[in-house]
Structure formats: C-alpha cells, structure tokens
C-alpha cells in the first residue's frame, strides 16, 4: 500500500490524557468528512477543522514510512510514541504499518473521528466524534468531544465504551465562551474532564 503523509514532526502531545508526553506526530493526508479545501468547508460534515491535511509525501511501503517516523525520535529509545492523526488516519493506517511501527519500538496512538473501524494493535485510541456522523468505533481509551457542537452533546456519547471522557473547547472567535461552557459542564458532570490545547497555549507545534 502507498501511504500519503502531510507531515511528520516531533513535539509534545498537547491534548487529552497523554498531554505533555513527547511523541512523533504522523499526520496523514485526506479526510472523509472534509476535502480540506476552504471552498468546501460550508458543506462539509466537519466545518470547524483547523488542520491542513491536503497534499503531502507518498511512501511506497510500511517499512519506509516507519523508518521515516523513527528518524525523528531522539537518541534516547525510552518511551517511544507515535501519534497517528490527520485528516482521518484510519483511512490509511493498516496492519502492516502498525507492525512496522511496533518493530521500530513505538507505542502507537491514534486520533480518529470514529467513522472508521480501528485495526488491531493500536496501543492508545482517541475518538473525537462529529455531529451527524455515524460513530463506528464505539470503544477505545479516550473519547474527546469538541464542545459545544450543534446536534451532538456529551450525553449523546457518554454511554460508549471509553476509559476517559474529555470535553475540548472549540477554538475560534468564541473560544473564551466555549471554555467557560466546557468548564461548567465538567463541574456539573464529573464523568467528563477538560482538555485544553496546551500546544497552542505554549506556542509549540
């Protein structure tokens, strides 16, 4: 299989339960909920995405891509983690790539919109559901709901089989108000925890 990758970079995880952990981010190109083109945003199933996932580099084998990811990790082999994101990573992440990344010593985390089934072998699975989209992957380690969204509320998804539940305030011009709403919801519903985008607060990638 050929993999199309927008970018690979090394930073700290900025969101959710793994916040602060060093990781190589493997951002796949392409998504099934939006083309990534501004002209299509208004009619997309996900209209608030803030990520550029259009275009990129092609890798002809799982082994080549895993080696490219490994080249970003420092000399210390401790606690290696790769975060597969997008776009929608589960359109491309498959068993051969999972095996190749494990062979390089990585623990594999995935950030997905939940509309695709996850293959076996993922070590940490985070699902971020979107309104009006069928949630196919109903279990995992972390459910992270961007909040507030029209047509989807925390009560719609809190019955799903996840170990951690996070509300992440929607970015944009109303971020301060959205943060206040998310804090208030978490305080009233302790099953939920607040996830802030610390990488944006710190000014890191």
Return d(Cα 183, Cα 194) in angstroms, integer.
7
Per-residue pLDDT reduced to its tens digit, 10-66? 999 999 999 999 999 999 999 999 999 999 999 999 998 989 999 999 999 999 999
Known catalytic residue at 138:
no
Known catalytic residue at 50:
yes
Known catalytic residue at 31:
yes
Return d(Cα 56, Cα 50) in angstroms, integer.
17
The catalytic position among 49, 84, 126, 186 is 49
Looking at the structure of the chain, the number of domains it has is 1
pLDDT of the chain, 205 residues: tens digit per residue: 899 999 999 999 999 999 999 999 999 999 999 999 999 999 999 998 989 999 999 999 999 999 999 999 999 999 999 999 999 999 999 999 999 999 999 999 999 999 999 999 999 999 999 999 999 999 999 999 999 999 999 999 999 999 999 999 999 899 999 999 999 999 999 999 999 999 988 888 8
Boundaries of domain holding 178: 3-202
The catalytic position among 15, 28, 31, 186 is 31
Return d(Cα 48, Cα 87) in angstroms, integer.
13
> Can you give the CATH number for the domain in which 125 is found?
3.20.20.70
pTM, two decimal places: 0.95
The catalytic position among 15, 88, 111, 142 is 111
The catalytic position among 2, 38, 50, 159 is 50
Known catalytic residue at 133:
no
Known catalytic residue at 49:
yes
């Amino acid at each position: 299989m050929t993999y199309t990758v927008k970018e690979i970079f090394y930073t700290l995880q900025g969101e959710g339960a793994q916040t602060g952990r060093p990781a190589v981010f493997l951002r796949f190109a392409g998504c099934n909920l939006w083309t990534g083109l501004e002209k299509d945003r208004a009619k997309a199933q996900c209209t608030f995405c803030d990520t550029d996932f259009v275009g990129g580099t092609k890798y002809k084998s799982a082994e080549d891509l895993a080696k490219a990811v490994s080249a970003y990790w420092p000399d210390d082999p401790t606690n290696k983690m790769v975060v597969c994101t997008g776009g929608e990573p589960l359109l491309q992440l498959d068993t051969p790539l999972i095996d190749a990344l494990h062979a390089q010593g990585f623990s594999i985390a995935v950030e997905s919109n939940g509309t695709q089934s996850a293959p076996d072998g993922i070590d940490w699975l985070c699902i971020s559901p979107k309104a009006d989209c069928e949630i196919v992957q109903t279990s995992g380690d972390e459910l992270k709901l961007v909040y507030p969204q029209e047509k989807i509320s925390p009560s719609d998804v809190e019955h799903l089989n996840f170990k951690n539940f996070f509300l992440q305030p929607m970015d944009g011009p109303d971020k301060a108000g959205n943060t206040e709403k998310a804090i208030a919801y978490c305080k009233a519903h302790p099953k939920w925890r607040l996830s802030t985008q610390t990488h944006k607060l710190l000014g890191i990638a």
